[in-house]
Amino acid sequence: MALTVEERGEGQFYWVVLEASEPDEGDVMIYRRIESAARAQPTYSNALALGVDVVRRLAD
């Protein structure tokens, strides 16, 4: 899994959890969204912290 934060508008930050899959080519990783925030956060840090909590929950 991977976590990223997207700024979709000025001051609108969303966490996005991604899952990697390995295609036949070997060295290239393809990521697909598995979950993302429904509501924007006012800062990158807030979105990141909430996203980390989601990744922890999904990893358990």
Query: Could you give the number of structural domains in the chain?
Result: 1
**Nearby residues of 55 by Cβ (< 8 Å), 6 or more positions away:** 1, 3, 17
Distance CA 59, CA 38 (A): 20
The count of other CB atoms within 10 Å of the CB of residue 56 is: 9
Considering the entire predicted model, what is its pTM? 0.86
Domain that holds residue 38: 2-59
The answer to whether 5 and 48 have CB atoms below 8 angstroms apart is: yes
Render pLDDT for 7-60 as a digit per residue (tens, 0 to 9).
Answer: 999 999 999 999 988 776 667 788 999 999 999 999 999 999 999 999 999 998
Handedness of CA 7, 50, 36, 55 (dihedral sign): positive
